[in-house]
Amino acid sequence: MSQSDENVDLPVTDDYDSPWKEAVERYFPEFIDFYFPFAYEQIDWTENPVFLDQELRSVVRDAELGKRFVDKLVQIKLLTGEEKWLYVHIEVQGSKQTEFAERMFVYNYRIYDRFRQPVASLAVLADEHKNWKPSSFGFEFLGCKHTLEFPVAKLTDYHDQLETLKTSENSFAIVTATHILTQQTRKNDAQRYEAKYALVKILYQRQWDKQRVIDLFKVIDWMMRLPKALEQQLWCKIESLEEEEKMQYVTSVERIGIEKGMEIGMEKGMLKGEQKILRRQLERRFQILPDWAIERIAQASEAELEQWLDNILDATSIDVVFTETTAAH
């Protein structure tokens, strides 16, 4: 490879789901307040929400592979004192999906069926199809009617409110503005550079605590990917901004941490890909997987997943797959 080739930036791929996942968990009350204020008013926020990741995995583990969305199952307490469950679904990839409403319906009754726990389903749609806003799914047959109606927040509804979003005190106003600007600057690096710097500058103008600024900076930095040369320019501009404002939010230490976090996020994405491949191969070979096998796959290292993928070739039973080597080896 020539030196000129090394200096050429490769196209960057926007990443939506990783920053959304992190932001939803870290600022869940603000998430509900921003998109579903009617629900926010009924929840007792003096009690911390509990994320039921394990319970959700057990319900949706056989869902179709390859979908790009963020979903959370959360236990909350109402002002009435009742404990309830919320299922929150975010379509982050920005694609119109015909099966979306049906999936909301299926997940809702699966959660109820498995845990006998009524659940409220809420959805955020980040696609760019302004008129696509499904909010129900059901069927009626021989006098029997089964329908789920669910609240939907649509990011296209905020397109004409960008300036208002930038002045809001809610973290998810910034997340929403970032997502919209990422979509709008997809094919224009120069515009994205300016939009990204403008959002970062807004963070420095807030009187927010340092950790909140860093968290939202990570969302902006993660979503609005830039070619390496422009990224370096942006960091120089941020350093100058910090000197002018006499505020050190994103120091060199935090910058290294953010970049490392993004690398870890990409590694986790690769790990999830290997997990999906292994599960698909095991299901083809042995049909339905037992719970213990699903649990081991979810907690496995990359080396273990690679070993188990090799073991499938010669394994005579699912138990043999999960040994270190097969008899043939």
158: which DSSP letter?
Answer: G
> Looking at the structure, do residues 153 and 262 belong to the same domain, yes or no?
no
- Per-residue pLDDT band for 271 (boundaries 50, 70, 90) equals low
**69: which 2 tokens?**
């969305």
- Residue of 35 and 282 predicted with greater confidence: 35
Q: Is residue 128 part of a domain?
A: yes
Confidence of residue 251 (pLDDT cuts 50, 70, 90): low
Q: Does one domain contain both 246 and 265?
A: no
Instruction: Dig out the tokens for 79 from the structure.
Output: 């002002």
Domain span including residue 307: 254-321
Any idea which of 90-104, 197-211, 314-328 has the lowest mean pLDDT? 314-328
Q: State the pLDDT at residue 268.
A: 59
**CA 77 and chain centroid, separation:** 24
Q: Which burial class, exposed, middle or buried, applies to 122 when counting CB atoms under 10 A from its CB (0-12, 13-18, 19+)?
A: buried
Contact (Cβ atoms closer than 8 angstroms) between residue 183 and residue 154: no
Calpha distance 65→279 (Å, rounded): 10
Query: How many domains, in total, are found in the chain?
Result: 2
Which run of H or of E encompasses 275? helix 252-286
Q: Is the distance from CB of 173 to CB of 166 less than 8 angstroms? A: yes
Q: Are residues 143 and 279 in the same domain?
A: no
Which of 233, 250, 267 is the last residue in one of the domains?
A: 250
Are 164 and 117 in a shared domain? yes
Q: Please give the Cα distance from 3 to 302 (Å, whole number).
A: 33
| Stated pTM of the model | 0.70
Residues 303 and 283 in one domain: yes
> Is residue 265 located within the same domain as residue 202?
no
* Domain termination residue (choose one: 207, 230, 250): 250
> In 3D, which of 87, 171, 97, 164 has the Cα closest to residue 133?
97
181-190, 206-215, 267-276, range with greatest mean pLDDT: 181-190
5 lies in a domain?
Answer: no
**Contact between 89 and 71 (Cβ < 8 Å):** yes
User: pLDDT at residue 265 above 60?
Assistant: no
| 124 shares its domain with 186 | yes
Q: What is the pLDDT of residues 105-134, one digit of tens each?
A: 999 999 999 889 889 999 999 888 888 899
DSSP state of 328: T
pLDDT over 50 (residue 253): no
Per-residue pLDDT of 145-155, as tens digits, reads 999 999 999 99
Cβ neighbors of 123 (< 8 A, separation 6 or more) are 88, 89, 90, 91, 100, 104, 150, 151, 152, 153
CA gap 1, 163 in Å, rounded: 45
SS3 label, residue 202: helix
Model confidence at 320, pLDDT cuts 50, 70, 90, reads: confident
Q: Which residue has the tokens 């005190």?
A: 169
The answer to whether residues 264 and 254 touch, using CB atoms and an 8 Å cutoff, is no
Is residue 98 located within the same domain as residue 222?
Answer: yes
- The residue out of 250, 269, 284 marking a domain boundary is 250
3-state secondary structure at position 152: strand
Regarding whether 307 and 196 lie in a shared domain, the answer is: no
Residue 85 main-chain phi, psi, to 5 deg: -115, 140
How far apart CA 181 and CA 160 sit, in angstroms, is 12
226, 187 contact by CB (below 8 A): no
Residues 221 and 276 in one domain: no
